[in-house]
Structure 1
Amino acid sequence: MTRTLAIDFGTSNTAAAVMRDGAPWVLPVDDGRDTLPTAVFLDFTRRDTLFGQAAIDALIDGREGRFMRALKSVLGTSLMHERRQFLQERLTLTEIVARFLSALKARAEAETGDRFDRVLSGRPVRFHSADAARNTRAEDDLRACYNAAGFSKVAFLPEPEAAARAALPDGGDRTGLGLVVDIGGGTSDFTVFEGGGADIRVLASHGVRIGGTDFDKAISLAHAMPLLGRGSLIRAELGAARNPAPAALFNDLASWEKIPFVYDPATLRDVARMQRLADEPEKLARLHAVLEMHLGHDVAFAVEAAKIAGQADRAQIDLSVVERGLAVDFYPLMLEAAIAPFATEIAEAASETLRAAGRTPDDIAEVILVGGSSLLTTVSDSMAALLPAARLRRGKAFTAIVEGLAIAADQADAAGR
């Protein structure tokens, strides 16, 4: 019987799993690591496509090519189907994501010795919050990527419902209701449930388009982009008027999924003109260098590193890759200020999930936090404040979803579905 491969295709990280000896086995798909950064590097010199940590290493090494990350955030948009020139290839993002998934499939087959033509994939409850049509297009896009990667049968399971299946306590029994809070790179998802494993009963699920990449963007706009000219005044070509530098470019440069598309000659010419007319030309000169040298992702990684390090102590957003010695201090209070509005929205979405389930905060016995961004204390504190009587437990931040998908896939295989 052909087994189904479980895949958690994430905004920041991806994982694959199957069942082995009655338990989920998260496959080592990236040089022994059980998660694969959801990153792609089109190497122009070697005419090769790199994935995961190899893609990040190529970017850090300064190799000639195009780096892409957070492509999950583009599902359901017109960007997925626009054909763009990458050196000697014209590719859509659908084809690039398919290459990533095909490489993951090949690695899973090499590790297990099995062939997989069926996949059970996690998906957010909502890819795009309230836009039902775009949510449908996003799932259709992801299905097309899996089909192009070599999977003939594709099924989906909401990510928090998958995580709930893997959330049984060590003793194997659960009493009371549980709430999964899955804060990923691009979305936040919630499931109220009872039971566990194959016997789970879902009462309600809900999701919003808020995640770790939004945290990164807020931090970048507030603390990194001003060093590149955000908010700087630009003189008019004629007259004495001054206006702030256009915000759209900085918004795109602070968004992981949009960075690859800011590098074009017209934008460089616009920035050179702004630099000539700027009250602070040195800042626009830095922006010009970032665009000319394709350093947008280097800036984004510096912001992400400061976000992770800035929880406990003073950190720095280190932009020395742009200019020697360029950095800005980043304190825990700055992190909290950047994330607090999102934490409030996440708590409101959790409350909406409880209302959809017909339950109150007092009915929830346990909150299980999963997803990389759930590790931020501002997020977990908002859940503790919303559900003060519930036990707060951290699940496996990066693999809980794929383990639950493996359980569900095995159950479907056994039933012949």
Structure 2
Amino acid sequence: MDLTVGIDFGTSNSAVGLNVNGQPWLVEVEAGSKTLPTAVFFDARGKMHLGSAANKALIAGDEGRYMRALKSVLGTPLLREERLIGPKRQSLLDVIAKFLSELRTRTEDQIRQPISGVVSGRPVRFHSSNDAANDQALIDLTEAYTRAGFKHIDFLPEPEAAALAAQDLAAGEIGMVVDIGGGTSDFTVFRKDAGKADILASYGVRLGGTHLDRALSLDHVMPLFGAGTEVRRALAEGLLPVPATLFNDLATWQTIPFLYTKDTLRLVKDLQRHAVEPDKIDRLFEVIEAELGHDVAFAVEAGKIAANMGGQGVIELGLVEKGLTAALDQDAMDLSLARYKADLSEAVRETLTMAGIAPDAIGAVVYVGGTSLMSIVPNAVKTVLPNARAIQSEAFTAVVDGLAIAAGQKQYA
């Protein structure tokens, strides 16, 4: 008999789960781990490497194309644009379908049974205020699963899956899931009763860990590469700002690979000739020519994590220039991310309003997703729900646990 699995296809990490006797059982999707980075690397021969293998290939400096945050392009025109990836032209939709197909194959190899169905997690909203893009994103993800070989495809909002798996609430208690992933923030108010989750309201915004990384990169790293500097006009007097688009793309996980073109190199060379601060544009040229954009992004992410621990974070940029660093302490990070804290607080309030629930009715907040461990998240929630207790025990697996439980409840003809 063909099985149905639950798949948490995340912006940063992915996982697969099955329902075994009413309990979630997670697949070892790569050696020794039940989650894997949602990252791919196509080597020069076109072979695709997934997860940690993709990250290792990038770190080793192997020739090829690295991609991350693939989920963020769902619902956008970028998803279906064909580009040279490896030795052939393909779209990011093709890449996502191959990634999902590999998840299915790895699962089938472990359980030695064919898989025909999937209950996939999805954000409450892929795009905050664009209904057309939000609808298109679901169409895109459905197509990717179809291409990956799944015959029966269902979706469950990720925070609702986490609510289904929540264990530490008393019968009848009202809780809120705060699910902050790599690309979206989702909120669900639910009542726990007899092992089930009665969903009272769900709400979502397009805000996640990659947005925080981008803000920190733009504020603290991109100025070292020339952001905010000027160039001399070629045929007239006066100065012009260096194009901001270069730095916006370099600070955004999903657009980094598309900077590695001859056109971009020609543009940066021209900027070098006219730069008021040429040493900074020289660094930008090094990043583009040596394809170090993802290395810079990983350095920003590492600095963010260090600063979040309350110490002096340092963004190490020695791969670009020996000894180059950008300081990042908690106060500086909080200043850069202040607008996102306000957005999160407002999203909590909106979810309560949709549910018709007063703040003091929430007994517990279930924090889900790696970005929920960032201090700005509980700080934002506490401004609205100061008395609710925090549950963080299953931050990385709550969604896939709930999807696995839901998958066991599906029956197909």
Settle same-fold status: TM greater than 0.5: yes
Structure 2 equivalent of residue 199 of structure 1: 196
Structure 2 equivalent of residue 363 of structure 1: 361
Letter in 2 for 1:71: L
Structure 1 equivalent of residue 100 of structure 2: 101
CA deviation after TM superposition for structure 1 residue 86, in Å: 2.3
Letter in 1 for 2:89: R
CA deviation after TM superposition for structure 1 residue 165, in Å: 0.6
Letter in 2 for 1:41: F
Letter in 2 for 1:7: I
Structure 1 equivalent of residue 125 of structure 2: 126
Distance 1:16 1:302 in 2: 28
In the alignment, does 2:203 pair up with 1:189?
A: no
Structure 2 equivalent of residue 6 of structure 1: 6
Structure 2 equivalent of residue 385 of structure 1: 383
Residues 171 and 194 of structure 2 are in contact (CA less than 8 Å); yes or no, is this contact kept in structure 1? no
Compute the TM-score of the two structures, normalised by the length of structure 1: 0.96
Distance 1:62 1:296 in 2: 12
Structure 2 equivalent of residue 48 of structure 1: 47
Structure 2 equivalent of residue 289 of structure 1: 286
Structure 1 equivalent of residue 399 of structure 2: 401
CA deviation after TM superposition for structure 1 residue 308, in Å: 0.6
Equivalent residue for 2:332, pick from 334, 354, 367: 334
Unaligned runs of 5+ in 2: none
CA deviation after TM superposition for structure 1 residue 22, in Å: 3.1
Residues 179 and 367 of structure 2 are in contact (CA less than 8 Å); yes or no, is this contact kept in structure 1? yes
CA deviation after TM superposition for structure 1 residue 254, in Å: 0.2
Q: How does 1:133-172 map to 2 (within 5 A)?
A: 133-169=132-168
- Matched position secondary structure for 1:402: helix
Structure 2 equivalent of residue 22 of structure 1: 22
Letter in 1 for 2:34: D
Structure 2 equivalent of residue 317 of structure 1: 315
- Give the number of aligned pairs: 412
Residues 97 and 147 of structure 2 are in contact (CA less than 8 Å); yes or no, is this contact kept in structure 1? yes
- Matched position secondary structure for 2:270: helix
Give CA deviations for 1:218-258 in whole Å, capped at 9, x if unaligned: 00000110111101111111233112211011001000011
Letter in 2 for 1:26: L
In the alignment, does 2:206 pair up with 1:209?
A: yes
CA deviation after TM superposition for structure 1 residue 90, in Å: 1.1
For structure 1, which segment, 16-25 or 289-298, has the greater mean C-alpha deviation from structure 2 after superposition?
16-25
Residues 65 and 86 of structure 2 are in contact (CA less than 8 Å); yes or no, is this contact kept in structure 1? no
Q: How does 1:342-361 map to 2 (within 5 A)?
A: 342-361=340-359
Residues 407 and 194 from structure 1, CA distance in 2 versus in 1: closer, same or farther, beyond 3 angstroms? same
User: Identical aligned pairs, as a percentage?
Assistant: 50
Structure 2 equivalent of residue 237 of structure 1: 234
Q: How does 1:251-290 map to 2 (within 5 A)?
A: 251-290=248-287
- Matched position secondary structure for 2:234: coil
CA RMSD of aligned residues (A): 1.3
Structure 1 equivalent of residue 247 of structure 2: 250
Structure 1 equivalent of residue 299 of structure 2: 302
Distance 1:24 1:399 in 2: 10
Distance 1:377 1:51 in 2: 30
Distance 2:334 2:119 in 1: 36
Distance 2:219 2:312 in 1: 16
Unaligned runs of 5+ in 1: none
Distance 2:89 2:27 in 1: 32
- Matched position secondary structure for 1:310: helix
Structure 1 equivalent of residue 219 of structure 2: 222
Compute the TM-score of the two structures, normalised by the length of structure 2: 0.97
Give CA deviations for 1:58-85 in whole Å, capped at 9, x if unaligned: 0000000000000100000111111112
Give CA deviations for 1:167-208 in whole Å, capped at 9, x if unaligned: 121xx7434211000000000000010015752110110000
CA deviation after TM superposition for structure 1 residue 131, in Å: 1.1
- Matched position secondary structure for 2:337: helix
